[in-house]
Amino acid sequence: MSTHASGSKKRALYEEGCRHSERTKVIYNCGNDRPPYIYADRSSQVTSEMPLDLATLLSQPLVAFTIELDNEYAHRTAHSTTMQRRTGAPNRGPWLTSFAMYANCLQFLGESPMPVRDLERLARSSTNLDGMRRWGYIKLSPPPEKPNSKRPNEGWLIELTPAGRMSQASWRTLPQVIEQRWRDRFGTDEVSSLRAVLYQVNLGLDLAYPDFPPILGYGLFTRGRGPRAERSMPPLTDASLTTDSPLTALLSRPLCAFAYDFEQHSPLSLAISANLLPVLDHSGIRIRDLPQKSGVSKESIAMAMGILTKAELVEIDSGAGKTVRLTPRGLAAQRDALQLLAQVENRWVHHHGKPTIQRLREVLEPLVQKQHHGSPLLLQGLKPYPGSWRASLPEIQILPRFPMVLHRGGYPDGS
């Protein structure tokens, strides 16, 4: 397909989504006793005073918890990284990946090989199987009835390598380690309250969503696009959670449910709508400043810019200081996204009940907004160990408003 045809298709998709979005003011029923917030109509400006939406309130604790997990795993295990390759250091183990690759792949593998379709059924998600094979964690082989099959598919068998088995064992205990650090940092009662309300919300979900946000697909969508890409979720009874389930799963399943609802009614993914649209405006911002303003990697931003450009939602200057600005169509998309976030939360209020969503906000808002010595407490556990790959990156100043999980290793900020 030509670039022009691809862009036309994306513009048509966006315009179709616009026809389904409401053009009136949307009341943001936060589920608590304060006056309902009224989101902007199409003539008003998007401002930073708007309340944090539920997707952000669920995402930022999940991303922070995951980065802490990743840092601890990297500190404790032998692994290889791009930084080691550049410096000529010897490979010490399999390629380093994020917790997402354990949560949606390694945790479900046992002693015996299993068909790929069974793994995806258990995980309720696909994963980067070719990457996991190349990185040294799994082995893929054709089924006995088709020994000459050359291209891996859902019928192929997947099994852990020795390195994969060691990785699985290392990951398994780390969520409890990080949760104890959170209890020490935020308070035991606060974390227990978080667990309790998240468990209540999970009980109210109709379907069993993934235990961690899946790798984003075409268009950076969580749910996929088209009848073959979009994965149907099994009923909750097929993969129920318990009060002892990892915090990552208790946070992830409602977040995935929110994303699926949002993306069912949106021409843009929640990853783009939450992370990029809020930091863009009509006057322009340097592209190189977007990672620090959005909390996601420059690789993620490059992918998102391609999507937004083809849909004619942004214009990018070609000068040395490369800036990006929202077009009139992009400004409308920005406001539509805010309205849709409010609509989804209002549906949650009706589905889960006002007291449950009120309690969810009462627990999540202090967790996200609490400060210590002038910086968010969520960020204070994210300092990487010296010599690690994250230690070579700028210090994290802001967290993504939705996990940007890419095929590059599953890191929640797209790194």
Cβ distance 176 to 182 under 8 Å? no
Length of the chain as a residue count = 415
Cβ distance 65 to 100 under 8 Å? no
Q: What CA–CA distance (Å, rounded) separates 352 from 265?
A: 20
Q: What is the pLDDT of residues 96-118, one digit of tens each?
A: 999 999 999 999 999 999 999 99
Residue ranges of the chain whose pLDDT lies below 50: 1-7, 10-11, 13-49, 227
**Rg of the chain (C-alpha set):** 21
Q: What is the pLDDT of residues 168-188, one digit of tens each?
A: 999 999 999 999 999 999 999
Looking at this protein, which amino acid is placed at residue 414? G
* DSSP line for 238-290: GS---TTS-HHHHHHHHHHHHHHHHHHS-SS-HHHHHHTGGG--SS-EEGGGH
Q: DSSP label at 24? A: S
Element (H, E) at 177: helix 162-186
Return the bridge partners of 38, or none: 27
Element (H, E) at 364: helix 354-369
Q: How far is CA 141 from the centre of its chain?
A: 30
Would you state the pLDDT for residue 216?
Answer: 94
Would you state the pLDDT for residue 318?
Answer: 79
Cβ distance 117 to 155 under 8 Å? yes
Q: What CA–CA distance (Å, rounded) separates 259 from 401?
A: 12
Sign of the Cα pseudo-torsion (341, 256, 69, 403, in order): negative
User: Of the candidates 296, 282, 291, 209, which has an alpha carbon nearest to the alpha carbon of residue 245?
Assistant: 209
Q: What is the pTM of this model?
A: 0.87
